[in-house]
Structure 1
Amino acid sequence: MQPLTADDPEDIGGHRLLARLGAGGMGVVYLARTAGGALVALKTIRAEHAADPAFRTRFRREVTAARALTGRWLVPVVAADTEAREPWLATEFVPGPSLAEAVDGFGALPVTAVRTLGSRLADALSAVHTAGLVHRDVKPANVLLALDGPRLIDFGIAYASGATALTAPDAVVGTPGFLAPEQAQARAGEVGPASDVFSLGCVLAYAASGRRPFGTGNAAGVLFRTVHEEPDLAQVPGELRALIGACLAKEPGQRPTAAKAAATLRDPRAPLARETTEGWLPPAVLRVVAERSARALDVPTPRRSPRQPTAADPAPSPPQDARPPTRRRVLLMGSAAASLLAAGGGVTAYLAAGGGGSGGALPVHTLGFQADLSGTDKADGVAQERGARLAVEHHNARTDITFRLALETVDDRANAAHAKEAARRFTEAGVTAVLGLGTPAAALAAAPLYQDARTAMVLISDDGEELGRAEQHFSTWCATRGPEKSLAVPLTSYLTSVRRVDRTAVIDDRAAGTAGSALTNQLSLLPPNEGTTSVHPVAADSDDFAPAVRAALAAKAQAVVFSGTSPERAARCARTLADAGFTGPRVGTWHILRPAFLQQAGNAGQDWVFGAPFTDPGSVSRTFRTAYRARYGTAPGRWSPEAYDAVGLVARTLEKLGGTADIEPGAVAQRLFGVTYQGLAKPLRFATDGSKALEQDALYFLFQAKGNTFRFLGRYDQLR
């Protein structure tokens, strides 16, 4: 957003001009205010272009086409004058980036966001096609992202079905990489609604993967691949691939209609009541929308300069910050306006408020978040993402901050290949730190890239043991949970301080692998209450727990610890103990805290106690619980407070480093371990011996099976 010049008029058609949104060879786009106070984007066409009869005819058709359309996801024309010396039109002002800016600046959108984007764009195209029109240039630059949904813009080359185009018969109309094969081959007679659906498929593939389905480079090469080769959908999430692939069918008749695409894309996980709610975009993009909205609302009525500067005037001083703009700064600058206008964009070639930020703008530090958001660990991954997102929003809402945070999310699906791709994306974007990495496989795959970039990996639900054992030591990882190998600590404390016993038996489930053997070894070396521990193994391929239980009771066990990690096998053990009449303390670990245990164990599972490295999300700050439910419509999930605290730890580190825009990721990775942070779940304090270990006085918690739920008992060291 730039100030008006002395050559700009004060008023056009009763609209008070406030600022320039962009200017190019075709004309100027202004931010303007109507007599009623509404903001509009007002586009003017230079007189030399308007003097061309064919161009003016095209402009009239553009305005007529846009005015004929109605639909929530279309940007309406509110006023126009096609006969003025410099014709103009005004549309509703949309203070958001284009899809191209968002994906180029912050990476691919989450699946849920792509579904929302696609269903609403398809609804917009349905409205276009119902009006007897074809858009012909559906592309990321013509999609603006608003708080409540996308907006499809630019009907400069829209035409009525069956109408004669104002172009040469062999002209390719559209944007290579986002047009249909019939457009690429200039088969004008075949261009219709199905062509827009093909373009929609290209847009969604780009939004979901960050990659164009027919590649980049020379336009002729892109057009050839569009006509003759299959699209590259390898990085498109599986649940979207079938629909996008159908949209990209070579033959128009094989593609779904826009209405059918909209119905297919509507997220089955989202109730219809939430179809119009805000929050559909990733936080980093929402931040841009919010900042541009705030800038637009704060634009004062300009004071006009008495004259234009001349060559005799002294050159203006260069700005203090002369660094080349980063991708994030470019996104906030909104520089696409000039380039789109220079290229001859249509109705709303650029309607987003830009601006490079005023001198008082706060620096923004972007955090990456990667976890399994669609696979077997989806529940934990989504809860962590939501907790982290809420922490970012709460930080930015504070009045005393010296920097702002943004969160960019990638679904790594707990898969090594996807984890590497996420790491490449984040390191290329220069994120300040990355959070999540919920599985050892994902952490090990991504770690070399983050190590090379000196980017901190803040682990939330993974303890980083695999990274610590790796041949190459990864110095940038930071685990914020208690280590798995020390899970015996809360169990021993419970059987020493709460339910004091002298003889403990371990049902050693060999199916648990190293996790089970570590727990068994710790309890053997350090028995509860300095008593004795007997170990009774169950083979990994056996479902018969009776022999081990009989042996444990023969050893006169007063308490039984189950070392396994399977809720189903723990339920079998619970039933066997109940059948044997054992009623003493029965203890296990957090891996069993699943509904399957309660369902399959029944009454035999009641009163079991479990040690866990996470707190109860419902027992932390009431402010957190209320905000989480208000934001997401559900109670906070497991690991969400820990994710909230991980953001807080990074924010505290940035504060210690001054919070300035030039903080390097390596400085954050190095400083993390010298910071103490009092989180919602627990205090985060690291040992000073260089081991990167957390102080263990508050790392574990206890839960107990009661009824159809797991009741939170509290922090293990606070129970007596």
Structure 2
Amino acid sequence: MRALRAEDPETLGGHRLLARLGAGGMGTVYLARTADGALVAVKMIRAEHAADPAFRARFRREVQLATGLTAPWVVPVTAADTEAREPWLATAFVPGPSLAEAVDGHGPLPAHTVVVLGARLVRALAEVHAAGLVHRDVKPGNILLAQDGPRLIDFGIAQGTGTTALTAPDAIIGTPGYLSPEQALPHEGEVGPPSDVFSLGCVLAYAATGRRPFGTGDAAAVLYRTVHESPDLTGLDRLVPPPVHEAITDCLAKDPRHRPTAAELRDVFEAMTGLTGRAPDGAQGHGTSRGAEPPGQGDWLPPEVLRLVADRSSRALNPPPRPPARTAPEPSPPESVRRLPRRRILAIGGLAVAASGTGAAVLLNRRNTAAAAGTPRQVPTHTVGFQSDLTGPQKATGTAQERGAALAVATHNARADASFRLALTRYDDRGETARAKDAARSLLARSAVRAVIGPSTTAAARAAGPLYAAASTPFVLVSVDSDEAGLSDDVSLRRTLCATTASGSQRALPIVLYLTRVHSTRRTAVIEDQAAGQTAWDISRYIGENPPSEGTVTIHPVKADTDDFRPAVAEALATDPQAVVHAGISPSRAASCARGLTAAGFTGPRMGFEPVLRPAFLTGAGDAAEGWMFEAPYTEPESAGTKASKAFTTAYRKRYGQAPGRWAAEAYDAVGLIARALDALGGGAGIEPGQVAERLFRTAYDGVAKPIRFTQDATHTLNPGNASFLYQARDGDFRFLGRYDQVR
């Protein structure tokens, strides 16, 4: 729970906002109070996502479905406005952690908690199914633990039985690890109530053992195990009573026809929490008869989880106050800084981008305060470490980033009013794992290093990241995809990993919006190159869940062991698509797809993603490359046309004698982001790297390349809005079209 910000509204739909409960790329969740004093959680969707018709349609459906449910263990919707510029919905406030948070943070739940959890969730699902609905995303993150029992939330992808989905039948919807086999293979049959029962079995097994029954890792591998392998229920028979063990095992039957119904499970679990109020083997229940469970007194939860509930309940009653408008940095600088002359930041936020004879200067507007008695000011120097491949296989990317960072440091130090100076310490890791670790150790040994930019390769980031995290030193990834590197889900890195580029799982948004707003597309075919693994699956899943123009999406896989795209192309074109998206990362395989589409006579929009944006695609595809469009997470400053990008390009050319390379502007902005965080901390010599790490994620920065904003939750991911760009293959080259939200 965090204090409201200056930009947050005072009220929303008659609800007085009290605090922020969370924020992400899609919107913000607030704690609020109704006119009659009840606490509610209000979810407000960001305007740029609400402008997407498919997204707004999903939101309307979530409100419609959740509003019609009255089950005691389902969080009710109390109010909503689905047509507002920033649509919102309000639900009853549940001051408890999610099941995922409780188990990940405190380990498996005791037997009596699992029994009560199961009893109340099967009752919720029984009522959901009786209403003709299928939830389709029953998972630990969608189950909140309250003092009186669990609550099932998030009906955003729920579907009525027998109704038409907003996505095509081949789209995989849900969360791997909790998907049913029929969800993993949607063409095999209907996804009905038995699918939720399967997911419930996964949830209860996870709650009791702390493990996902089908493992973790690559999504495709998890889905394969879900469909073809037996669940890992090792030790479950020792952790829960035999009837519960048998029920969970039955839930996980591969064939939906062999699973019990939610109503049948309700009989099993409520017998365990029956008239005695005591379940076998210590399983504690509160039900006195079927259909009439009193709320209970909170003894169903273990003490450590109850403490979380109590803490959140207390904070909800005493939320943090909205801070007043400030003219000084927050938080207050350390004592050593407070003894320095006071410097005030202008109300506009302390940032301006100005063009001068030397290029774009990021100016933090401060008074040029002279030291006492007219003596020259003594300002501290903060070192920014730079780790990159400067002489190895990816030296072009590393060199461009090094030049952009060096230019930013020189620009900062040229300011007469700077309250601190910057230094750049470089280390060439050549993209090698061993050297990456050596680079991290070398940079961490320097006491003046406040943050590190890099590494610039995936392998180096995997190797060095844990070392920076262990030392609480922020490392800013400019070009590495944190999802591809496997860093996004590593909880130990979240305090220090600062990725300023959109991850692979976020980058399908520009394609969807282009095919909705610019080239209205009702039928989209995705050719999924399974050689790309998780990346291709993420792209296909996102587009399937968010079909352009609220239309249909069909997905056509190409196995990794073949480079013949013609069968998939023929299958895709048989659906009469208006646009085709290639979900893959190989330029040569994308070229095969392009040749197949051209040979079949398809001339509609053909879309791809940055890893394909290489000369090998143009060479391999030949004339078939013409017109292809690509999303990319970097700008081309020379072609961007903004005042800041023109000034940056002028300064870069003057310093290096050539146009800025790919990722140069992004590295320049990374230095600006770090400088902004240092400035917000007071700029003094006593700043620690851990303070910089914490401040980076609360810093908003409008750079030369793009605006940088981070979600205000535990993940600290880059807000993907306005963070990607579009390019098009024309006349044997890739032409920059602009930021995706500005392309017309």
Greater C-alpha radius of gyration? 1
So what's the TM-score if we normalise by structure 1? 0.49
- Tell me which of the two structures has the higher relative contact order, counting C-alpha pairs closer than 8 angstroms and 6 or more residues apart: 2
So what's the TM-score if we normalise by structure 2? 0.48
